[in-house]
Amino acid sequence: MGESVKIGVLHAKIRMGAKRGNTRRLYSLIQGMMQKFSLDLLVLPAYAFTGPVIEYYPTNRIRHYLSAFAERMGRNIVSTSILLYPMRWAREFGVNILVGPMIERAGPRLYVTTLLIDYDGAIVAKYRKIGVTRKEEQYGINRGKEPGVFPIPGTSGKIGVFADDDLAYPEIFRILQESGVNILLGFMLPYPSDVFRYEKSDAYITTMDSKFVKYFLSVRSRETGLPGILVGGIVEDMGNHGIQAYMPTMPFEPDIGVIEDRIKRLEDPDSHIVIDIDLKASRPSEILPSCRTIIKNLCKRIK
């Protein structure tokens, strides 16, 4: 196994509800990246096929769209599932694909789930978001229980996955640190957070308070000793009526914090970030043995 991992992250434009158009755009972007780079892992943004739902549709239509966009992510994928596309792309390009959060249906329950598809096109890992907001709970989203620790198939690397309000829970990151991941990969589009605030950009487009988010990213990176990327994106309204919301894609490192000159912003639609992770150098900082019991007890609260 090699001692480095090359990761490509898409900072994509996503149109609300436009599954077909989003799928075509994503495929074109992936083709372009795979022609330029030999990637071990390709990362798609949150809600890459459907766009986000809560706070993006009228209140009386949110449950309808959550139900319409929910995917079953068990062993048997139905023939109409949007997941067949990234599974096919993984096989075509021979690359592992991390699919940013989607709505998952598991029996009667709904989750916000990130999944890893290996280069053979099989779903090999899932992470159900733990940091569910009150607004999400109101619309039937359930809280996950297990941390997002994903080995990268074909390499000796491991990634730690988080989403949205997970960023506010140090316990989650302590578990990822204890699990020996090499890099943190998180996802965020503007959403009804219990911690982070909405703000309007100069173009009057909704985003999150970037200073506050950057602060949390820097703190989590220093605490764990790990680099990472927060994957954002650009949300286009239904019917091509313009940009409704966006979130920068921000790489960060323990000694630097957020790397400003590598941020992908509103003016960078359908762009990407590619990084090489040295697996020997990129290891989490040590947790003192005396702290491990305390951390495990704290983590029980978020299950």
In 3D space, the residue among 167, 121, 120, 122 whose CA is nearest the CA of residue 148 turns out to be 167
pLDDT score for 75: 75
> How far apart, in whole angstroms, are the C-alpha atoms of residue 16 and residue 113?
18
**Burial of 216 per CB tally in 10 Å (0-12, 13-18, 19+):** middle
Token pair recorded at residue 269? 């639609």
Token pair recorded at residue 235? 């949300």
pLDDT score for 293: 52
Can you give 41-81 as a three-state secondary structure string? Answer: EEEECCCCCCCCCCCCCCHHHHHHHHHHHCECCCCCCCCCC
pLDDT score for 115: 97
How do residues 92-151 score in pLDDT, each as one tens digit? Answer: 999 999 999 999 999 999 999 999 999 999 999 999 999 999 999 999 999 999 999 999
**Taking CA 164 as the corner, what is the angle to CA 72 and CA 263, rounded to the nearest 5 degrees?**
115
Crossing angle for the helix pair 84-93 and 19-36, to the nearest 10 degrees: 20
In 3D space, the residue among 55, 17, 16, 70 whose CA is nearest the CA of residue 208 turns out to be 55
Token pair recorded at residue 157? 């690397």
pLDDT score for 291: 53
Mean residue pLDDT of the chain comes to: 92
Beta-carbon contacts of residue 289 (< 8 Å; ≥ 6 apart): none
Q: Is the dihedral angle over the CA atoms 7, 11, 16, 21 positive or is it negative?
A: negative
Count of domains forming the chain: 1
User: Count of CB atoms within 10 A of residue 61's CB?
Assistant: 12
Q: What is the pLDDT along the chain (303 residues), one digit of tens a residue?
A: 448 999 999 999 999 999 999 999 999 999 999 999 999 999 999 999 999 999 999 999 999 999 999 999 987 788 889 999 999 999 999 999 999 999 999 999 999 999 999 999 999 999 999 999 999 999 999 999 999 999 999 999 999 999 999 999 999 999 999 999 999 999 999 999 999 999 987 778 999 999 999 999 999 999 999 999 999 999 999 876 799 999 999 999 999 999 999 999 999 999 999 999 998 877 677 655 545 554 455 555 544
**Burial of 36 per CB tally in 10 Å (0-12, 13-18, 19+):** exposed
Residue tagged 């096919």 (tokens): 88
pLDDT score for 116: 98
Amino acid in the structure at residue 55: E
Beta-carbon contacts of residue 194 (< 8 Å; ≥ 6 apart): 133, 134, 165, 168
pLDDT score for 3: 85
Can you give 121-161 as a three-state secondary structure string? Answer: CCEEEEEECCCCCHHHHHCCECCCCCCEEEECCCCCCEEEE
pTM score, whole prediction: 0.92
> How far apart, in whole angstroms, are the C-alpha atoms of residue 54 and residue 136?
7
The CATH code of the domain that includes 114 is: 3.60.110.10
| Under 8 Å between Cβ of 14 and 48 | yes
pLDDT score for 290: 45
Range of the structural domain that residue 37 is part of: 4-302
